[in-house]
């Protein structure tokens, strides 16, 4: 018997959340004033949670490592946010969003959580519009939608190519209102370095003030972690430079189980790497796949010529192009889910058809879209017999309106005009579906310790659909946690303030201080980045888009060796009592070096292919699906929740069996 209890309410799936809300304990408004909540992270998840909890009357202390909540990495989300509004009348519904999300996640998520997510999705859009989020609208003044990979309806709401920015600024404005009222105390440039448990419950955190270096104690009746994903374990990813796993990993070491670390999303449309100095990778929004067609040369000699700079893509005739997604997946074409699109790109490039000097790039071509939109515009504008150039020009204007900022970003980085030459793209690490295990209440295995947003594992199974992370972050923060945490806190109305001058706080503060002192006095010979890059290379080469048992075992051993060397040889200049960016990085990389090993171990144990996790040993051997990923529901329809036991390799596996009552398990097919 597993110790995991998902606490999913009984009853039909469509009534679970409503019934649950009708029966939980509530905290009366007067008592909320006596209850403190710590929210670590103020991205979409943490920001929306902090604002809502403060509106309800709780005293909130919120923390972020940047100088403002407005700078959390949610700001970088481009494409959009899903909601089952069915404004387009194309057959969307709560059930369909639920179904698409479970299917997209390759049947590795918890049904009840996903259904609730789909249920509250429509509220998110209403709330954001009320806050003044300027979503795109059509000429009739109503909200516009676009469609994203893996689905057949248009349910994605967007604000130009800056949807994450606008949603975050909405949550930020709601936070600002509460900061002004004194209901949120905001700690910018503060990093949480550990959690404090008292009698087994989460009661506080230890932070470092990143300006003064001061180590601080903060107490509360409950602690919420919303610190984002761990994609930077690969060193190169589309995450921000500071994105880190420290809070999630530290709570794991204090008792929170870590679920499905191997489920990572490698996003198909990123700008390819150009050299060893590269510090991060840039995403080109998936929405581009609505209008762009992906191809590589069909002939190997053309590919070689392109790699050597002797041929231009525009010189390759239509018949000599291989639109491989349209060829392999006629039903979904360029809009197959991300994992499928990424592996297909890798397959072509591994076979030698890549289109830049490194051989690791494919084309994303808008020529057909210029033509299509251009003809439409010419008709609308009543232009008779427009010239070819005129049509292209009109079409380009439409594309510019839709994706102008992305095209500009591309041109600044690559120094090529994507209106004239097709874009080059290649997959890159983007999102982590795995994360801290939480139950239906979003509580971890530690009482009073919650985890929301990308940091938890909850809703996306083995693969996340586009535009669903923003939805989940805001669902957790605005509409789910504020209820579920109340149920827990109703037992704390008589507890009173949690003191910080206790042995529990002393002990954790000492652990934190000792580690900082160690780094500063280690006098090693190599920089933090040196180790981070080596870790990233092992992760990408052996725990990347395609995995097998021998390489995963090697990866575990190599990561352990890098970690041991790190503790001997790392060099951190400066002191602890000032702003010290190297010291910040050292702590984060130390945690990545442990998480990376657990990640590889999890990938090794999961001997099936599912979603973003592709095991070379588990593919379809024949039939129409030959070579495609093969899931194994009989042996692997469970969540892997890991319990910390010292070394990452010694972590103990607990299984949460997944039951599918409302959706029939099927092999995913996008053919």
Ligand X SMILES: Cc1cc2nc3c(=O)[nH]c(=O)nc-3n(C[C@H](O)[C@H](O)[C@H](O)COP(=O)(O)OP(=O)(O)OC[C@H]3O[C@@H](n4cnc5c(N)ncnc54)[C@H](O)[C@@H]3O)c2cc1C
Active site residues: 338
Q: Residues 159 to 188: which contact ligand X by CB under 6 A?
A: 163-164
How far is Cα 506 from Cα 512, in angstroms, rounded to an integer? 10
User: 123 vs 500, which CB is nearer to another protein?
Assistant: 123
Residue 353, phi then psi, degrees to nearest 5: -95, 10
User: 219 vs 432, which CB is nearer to another protein?
Assistant: 432
Core vs surface per residue 230-262: b (16+ CB within 10 A) or e: bbbbbbbbbbbebbbbbbbbbbbebbbbbbbbb
**3-state SS record for 373-402:** HHHHHHHHCCCCCCCHHHHHHHHHHHHHHH
Q: Which DSSP symbol is given to 619?
A: B
Compute the least distance from the CB of residue 140 to another protein, in Å: 7
Residue with tokens 């103020």: 42
The Cα-based distances of 273 to 29, 224, 307, 424, 645 in angstroms read 53, 36, 14, 10, 37
From the list ligand X, another protein, none, pick the one residue 126 interacts with, judged by a Cβ distance below 5 to 8 Å according to partner type. Answer: another protein
Residue 584 as a binder of ligand X (CB under 6 A): the answer is no
- CA angle, residues 272, 615, 96, in degrees to nearest 5: 80
Compute the least distance from the CB of residue 469 to ligand X, in Å: 3
Stretch that binds ligand X, among 235-243, 324-332, 532-540, 544-552 (CB under 6 A): 235-243
Stretch that binds ligand X, among 227-235, 334-342, 350-358, 419-427 (CB under 6 A): 227-235
Site string for ligand X, 277-316 (x = CB under 6 A): ------x---------------------------------
Stretch that binds ligand X, among 64-72, 292-300, 416-424, 646-654 (CB under 6 A): 64-72
Contacts of 39 (CB under 8 A, 6+ apart): 46, 49, 50, 53, 60, 61, 62, 63, 224, 226
Compute the least distance from the CB of residue 410 to another protein, in Å: 11
- CA angle, residues 170, 171, 176, in degrees to nearest 5: 95
From the list another protein, ligand X, none, pick the one residue 43 interacts with, judged by a Cβ distance below 5 to 8 Å according to partner type. Answer: ligand X
Q: Which residue, judged by CB position, is nearest to ligand X in the bound state?
A: 43
From the list another protein, ligand X, none, pick the one residue 440 interacts with, judged by a Cβ distance below 5 to 8 Å according to partner type. Answer: none
How far is Cα 197 from Cα 192, in angstroms, rounded to an integer? 14
- Indicate which single residue of 64, 102, 186, 604 sits in contact with ligand X (rule: CB under 6 A): 64
Q: Which DSSP symbol is given to 3?
A: S
Q: What is the dihedral sign for C-alpha 368, 369, 371, 375?
A: positive
Q: Which DSSP symbol is given to 57?
A: T
User: 280 vs 393, which CB is nearer to ligand X?
Assistant: 280
From the list ligand X, another protein, none, pick the one residue 40 interacts with, judged by a Cβ distance below 5 to 8 Å according to partner type. Answer: ligand X
Compute the least distance from the CB of residue 87 to another protein, in Å: 6
Are 667 and 611 contacting, i.e. CB atoms less than 8 angstroms apart?
no
Q: Which DSSP symbol is given to 271?
A: P
- Indicate which single residue of 38, 53, 77, 362 sits in contact with ligand X (rule: CB under 6 A): 77
From the list another protein, ligand X, none, pick the one residue 179 interacts with, judged by a Cβ distance below 5 to 8 Å according to partner type. Answer: another protein
- Indicate which single residue of 8, 13, 35, 44 sits in contact with ligand X (rule: CB under 6 A): 44
Strand partners of residue 60: 37, 184
Strand partners of residue 363: 295, 424
How far is Cα 231 from Cα 240, in angstroms, rounded to an integer? 10
Residue 587 as a binder of ligand X (CB under 6 A): the answer is no
Q: Which DSSP symbol is given to 315?
A: G
User: 65 vs 98, which CB is nearer to ligand X?
Assistant: 65
Compute the least distance from the CB of residue 131 to another protein, in Å: 6
User: 139 vs 308, which CB is nearer to another protein?
Assistant: 139
User: 170 vs 297, which CB is nearer to ligand X?
Assistant: 170
Strand partners of residue 39: 62, 224
Are 657 and 637 contacting, i.e. CB atoms less than 8 angstroms apart?
yes
- Indicate which single residue of 27, 37, 40, 288 sits in contact with ligand X (rule: CB under 6 A): 40
From the list another protein, ligand X, none, pick the one residue 421 interacts with, judged by a Cβ distance below 5 to 8 Å according to partner type. Answer: none
How far is Cα 176 from Cα 171, in angstroms, rounded to an integer? 9
Compute the least distance from the CB of residue 310 to ligand X, in Å: 34
Compute the least distance from the CB of residue 389 to ligand X, in Å: 33
How far is Cα 322 from Cα 297, in angstroms, rounded to an integer? 6
Compute the least distance from the CB of residue 68 to another protein, in Å: 6
Report strand pairing: 258-259 vs 423-432: unpaired
From the list ligand X, another protein, none, pick the one residue 30 interacts with, judged by a Cβ distance below 5 to 8 Å according to partner type. Answer: none
Residue 80 as a binder of ligand X (CB under 6 A): the answer is yes
Kindly tell me the number of DSSP H helices and DSSP E strands found in the chain: 19, 19
Burial (CB count within 10 angstroms: exposed 0-12, middle 13-18, buried 19+), residue 502: middle
From the list ligand X, another protein, none, pick the one residue 394 interacts with, judged by a Cβ distance below 5 to 8 Å according to partner type. Answer: none
Compute the least distance from the CB of residue 387 to another protein, in Å: 29
Residue 538 as a binder of ligand X (CB under 6 A): the answer is no
Integer distance in angstroms from the first to the last C-alpha of the chain?
40
Site string for ligand X, 425-444 (x = CB under 6 A): -----xx-------------
DSSP states along 478-501:
IIIHHHHHHHHHTT-TTT-PPPSS
Stretch that binds ligand X, among 40-48, 299-307, 390-398, 616-624 (CB under 6 A): 40-48
From the list ligand X, another protein, none, pick the one residue 473 interacts with, judged by a Cβ distance below 5 to 8 Å according to partner type. Answer: ligand X
From the list ligand X, another protein, none, pick the one residue 443 interacts with, judged by a Cβ distance below 5 to 8 Å according to partner type. Answer: none
Compute the least distance from the CB of residue 139 to another protein, in Å: 5
Compute the least distance from the CB of residue 107 to another protein, in Å: 29
User: 63 vs 670, which CB is nearer to ligand X?
Assistant: 63
Residue 470 as a binder of ligand X (CB under 6 A): the answer is yes
Can you read off the two tokens belonging to residue 66? 């940047």
User: 27 vs 202, which CB is nearer to ligand X?
Assistant: 202
Core vs surface per residue 309-320: b (16+ CB within 10 A) or e: eebebeebeeee
Q: Residues 237 to 266: which contact ligand X by CB under 6 A?
A: 238-239, 243-244, 246-247
DSSP states along 419-458:
TTS-EEEEEEEEEE--EE---TTSB-SSTTEEE-GGGB--
Strand partners of residue 225: 40, 451
Residues that bind ligand X (CB under 6 A): 40-46, 63-66, 72-74, 76-81, 163-164, 191-192, 226-229, 238-239, 243-244, 246-247, 283, 430-431, 453-455, 467-470, 473
């Amino acid at each position: 018997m597993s110790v995991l209890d998902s606490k999913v309410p009984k009853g039909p799936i469509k009534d679970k959340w409503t019934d649950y809300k009708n029966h939980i304990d509530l905290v009366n408004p007067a008592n909320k004033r006596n209850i403190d909540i710590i929210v670590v992270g103020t991205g979409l998840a943490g920001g929306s949670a902090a604002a809502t909890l403060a509106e309800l009357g709780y005293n909130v202390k919120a923390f972020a490592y940047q100088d403002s909540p407005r700078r959390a990495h949610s700001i970088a989300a481009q494409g959009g946010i899903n909601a089952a509004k069915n404004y387009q009348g194309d057959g969307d519904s709560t059930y369909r969003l639920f179904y698409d999300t479970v299917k997209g996640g390759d049947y590795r998520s918890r049904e009840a959580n996903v259904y609730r997510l789909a249920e509250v999705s429509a509220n998110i859009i209403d709330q954001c519009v009320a806050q003044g989020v300027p979503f795109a609208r059509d000429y009739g003044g109503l909200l516009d939608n676009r469609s994203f990979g893996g689905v057949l309806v248009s349910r994605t709401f967007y604000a130009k190519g800056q949807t994450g920015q606008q949603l975050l600024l909405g949550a930020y404005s709601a936070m600002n209102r509460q900061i002004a009222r004194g209901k949120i105390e905001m700690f910018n440039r503060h990093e949480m370095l550990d959690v404090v448990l008292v009698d087994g419950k989460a009661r506080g955190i230890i932070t470092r003030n990143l300006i003064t270096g001061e180590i601080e104690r903060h107490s509360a009746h409950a602690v919420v972690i919303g610190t984002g994903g761990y994609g930077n374990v690969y060193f190169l990813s589309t995450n921000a430079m500071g994105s880190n796993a420290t809070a999630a990993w530290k709570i794991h070491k204090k008792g929170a189980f870590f679920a499905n670390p191997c489920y990572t999303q490698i996003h198909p449309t990123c700008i390819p790497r150009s050299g060893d100095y590269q510090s991060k990778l840039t995403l080109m929004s998936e929405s581009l796949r609505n209008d762009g067609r992906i191809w590589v040369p069909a002939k190997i000699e053309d590919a070689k010529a392109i790699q050597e700079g002797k041929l231009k893509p525009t010189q390759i005739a239509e018949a000599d192009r291989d639109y491989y997604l349209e060829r392999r997946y006629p039903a979904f074409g360029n809009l197959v889910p991300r994992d499928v699109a990424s592996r297909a790109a890798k397959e072509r490039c591994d076979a030698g058809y890549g289109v830049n000097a490194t051989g690791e790039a494919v084309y994303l071509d808008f020529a057909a879209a210029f033509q299509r939109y251009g003809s439409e515009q010419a008709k609308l504008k009543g232009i008779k017999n427009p010239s070819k150039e005129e049509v292209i020009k009109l079409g380009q204007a439409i594309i510019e309106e839709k994706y102008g900022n992305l095209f500009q970003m591309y041109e600044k980085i690559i120094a090529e005009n994507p209106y004239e030459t097709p874009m080059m793209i290649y997959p890159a690490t983007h999102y982590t579906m795995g994360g801290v295990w939480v139950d239906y209440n979003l509580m971890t295995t530690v009482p009073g310790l919650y985890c929301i947003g990308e940091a938890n594992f909850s809703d996306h199974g083995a693969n996340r659909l586009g535009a669903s992370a923003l939805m989940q972050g805001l669902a957790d923060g605005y509409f789910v946690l504020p209820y579920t945490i109340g149920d827990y806190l109703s037992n704390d109305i008589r507890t009173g303030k949690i003191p910080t001058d206790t042995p529990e706080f002393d002990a954790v503060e000492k652990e934190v201080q000792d580690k900082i002192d160690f780094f500063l006095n280690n006098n090693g010979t190599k920089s933090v980045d040196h180790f981070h890059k080596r870790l990233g290379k092992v992760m990408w080469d052996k725990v990347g888009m395609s995995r097998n048992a021998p390489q995963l075992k090697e990866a575990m051993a190599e990561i352990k060796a890098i970690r041991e060397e790190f503790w001997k040889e790392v060099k951190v200049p400066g002191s602890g009592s000032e702003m010290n960016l190297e010291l910040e990085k050292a702590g984060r990389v130390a945690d990545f070096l442990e998480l990376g090993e657990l990640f590889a171990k999890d990938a090794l144990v999961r001997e099936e292919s599912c979603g973003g996790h592709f095991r070379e040993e588990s593919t379809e051997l024949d039939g129409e699906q030959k070579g495609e990923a093969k899931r194994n529901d009989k042996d692997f329809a469970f969540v892997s929740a890991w319990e910390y036991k010292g070394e990452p390799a010694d972590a103990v596996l607990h299984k949460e069996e997944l039951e599918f009552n409302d959706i029939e398990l099927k092999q995913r097919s996008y053919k």
